[in-house]
Amino acid sequence: MASKVIFLDVDGTLVDYENHLPESAVEAIRKARANGHLVYICTGRSHAEVPPKLWDIGLDGMIGGNGSYVEHQGEVVMHQMLSEEDSRAIVDWLHERGLEFYLESNNERPLC
């Protein structure tokens, strides 16, 4: 059988909206990998927002941050980032207008 690459969405697909991961999903992913297939999550989440229980399944990597971050077998293949200067300018602009916002990062280092 030819090897396949499987991409799985996270929220509302692999896990429900309470972050519950069904054992049937864990078993299916492990079986796919045991059969020589590669399994990746593809999510809007940043790397830092992926709970350890997902990595514990034995994933081959992820496409995260809505495509701004790609990881394969623990190696970062692509990571598009805003500069700290641009990030601060955006935050200042949002604050000046009293707008609420949420920042995400692929690491846990706070920006502001």
What is the rounded CA–CA span in Å between residue 97 and residue 61? 38
What DSSP designation does 106 have? S
Active site residue 9: yes
What DSSP designation does 4 have? -
φ/ψ of residue 68, rounded to 5? -85, -5
Please report the beta strands in the chain, taking only residues with DSSP state E, as ranges in sequence order.
5-8, 38-42, 61-64, 69-72, 75-79
The active-site residue out of 9, 16, 56, 92 is 9
For Cα atoms 101, 102, 103, give the angle at the middle one, nearest 5 degrees.
Answer: 125
Residues carrying an active site annotation: 9
